[in-house]
Amino acid sequence: SSGINAEWPLRPGEEKEYLESQAESVRSSTSPYRRDVWNWYDWLTYISMLVTSAMVITCLHGDSLKETYKKEYPHFALWTSRMMCITLLLIWIKLFKFVRVYSFLGPFVVILMNTLTDIIKIVFVFVVFYVPTVAVFFQFYHNSGDPYFGGVREMMFTVYRMLLVDDYGYDDIRNFTLETQTVGVTVTPDTWWTDVIVAYWLMFGAIIILNLFIALMSDTFQRVFDNAGEVALLERASIIVAIEDRLPAGRKRKFLRYLKEKCAPLESYYDDDLGEDEDGEVKRYAEQTFDVVKSIQSQVLEWRHDAGQDLKLALRQQSHEHQKQIRRLDETVQHLRRVMEAQNRFKQPAKGAGTGSTEIG
């Protein structure tokens, strides 16, 4: 009850509702560790490494299993090799977590992460066209004898390969005999029907869907790369915050004391309970940073313009003053010249008068 104002106490029942709402907000809030996608990826990598290590140890030291499970052991060894490949791929992808702090590679890592959202969108559209197309091909060509359309798995992969305009046995499915089980007769489908199905899938799959996916990735690339520097700084800040959260209490206090005493950081309010998604946060901070940069740039341009005008005015005033001083000096020189000429004219008659008086004496 220390947080309740004593001058305006809550009415009966409101204190309980207030405490329950606060407790519910605490329970529903997620920690920054859980909000980071890379932390979930780390756990996936650790689990994959543990499973792979256990399978490898079993294969190396499980001699009794080889004798007991002679038929199942080769499949287990094959899946062990597959898990090793999957784990190796996950470990290498984890390098993106550490290179995203650099301004050269950071924006591209963010682009790849945002592309995952685009992939989810395009996969839904792709499945809407892909599933019925596989069903149509299976209905007509599953008994054609073509290895590309032998089973469901082969047919699904062949329909996918058609998007890449790969070899999918077009000539074989165009000329084959279909034995219908529903009617009990043998018919040969028209070649135009095969052309229609293949053209339909190439039109919607290889042209429309793939180009739509490329357009989505281009929009993501342009949106992130326009603020590449800001995105790299935000990624670096997120890693620094994540490292600070993992520090022990003693080392964290020591680190914060060092920042306060040696670095004098700017203190700003931050609430960990704010449930803002990563994309919105990146966009908001990028826009704020862009506005600050534009404001500073406009201020610099205005200062340069004002400084240029002041400099021109000062030079003009100095030039005017110098011209005044030059005119004053010219007037002074002219005055001195007239004074000297007057003195010379005065001295010449005086000398003549002095000579005449000497002769008379």
pLDDT surpasses 90 at 47:
yes
Taking only the tens place, the pLDDT of each residue in 54-68 is 988 888 876 666 777
The string of pLDDT tens digits covering residues 91-141 is 998 888 878 777 777 777 877 877 788 888 888 888 898 888 888 888 777
> Tell me: the pLDDT tens digits for 167-191?
777 776 666 655 544 445 555 556 7
Which pLDDT score, from 0 to 100, does residue 77 have?
A: 83
**How far is residue 282's CA from residue 288's CA, in Å, rounded to a whole number?**
10
Q: What is the pLDDT of residue 5?
A: 42
What pLDDT, in 10s, does the model give residues 257-315?
Answer: 887 777 765 555 555 555 555 556 667 777 778 778 777 877 778 777 777 787 788 88
Q: Which residues contact 194 (CB under 8 A, 6 or more apart)?
A: 140, 170, 173, 174
d(CA 206, CA 162): 8
Put simply, whether the predicted model's pTM sits higher than 0.85 gets the answer no
Query: In which band, very low, low, confident or very high, does the pLDDT at 145 lie, cut at 50, 70 and 90?
Result: low
Q: Identify the three-state secondary structure at position 70.
A: coil
What does the pLDDT read at residue 318? 82
d(CA 180, CA 188): 10
Strands (E), the chain: 178-179, 186-187
pLDDT score, position 237? 79
Neighbouring residues of 12: CB distance < 8 A, sequence distance ≥ 6: none
**Residue-level pLDDT at 41:** 87
**Phi and psi, residue 179, nearest 5°:** -100, 105
Answer yes or no: are the C-beta atoms of 156 and 134 closer than 8 Å.
yes
DSSP state of 265: P
pLDDT in the model for residue 259: 76
CA dist 331 and 324 (Å) reads: 11
Q: What does the pLDDT read at residue 51?
A: 93
What pLDDT does residue 46 have? Answer: 92
**Where do the DSSP E strands lie in 5-83?**
none
pLDDT tens digit sequence for 350-359: 555 554 444 4
3-state secondary structure 202-216: HHHHHHHHHHHHHHH
Q: What pLDDT is recorded for position 84?
A: 92
**Could you give the C-alpha distances from 19 to 4, 24, 340, in angstroms and in order?**
11, 9, 105
Percent of the chain at pLDDT > 90 equals 6
Identify residue 49 by its one-letter amino acid code: M
Query: pLDDT tens digits, residue range 212-257?
Result: 888 888 887 787 777 766 777 777 777 777 777 777 888 888 887 8
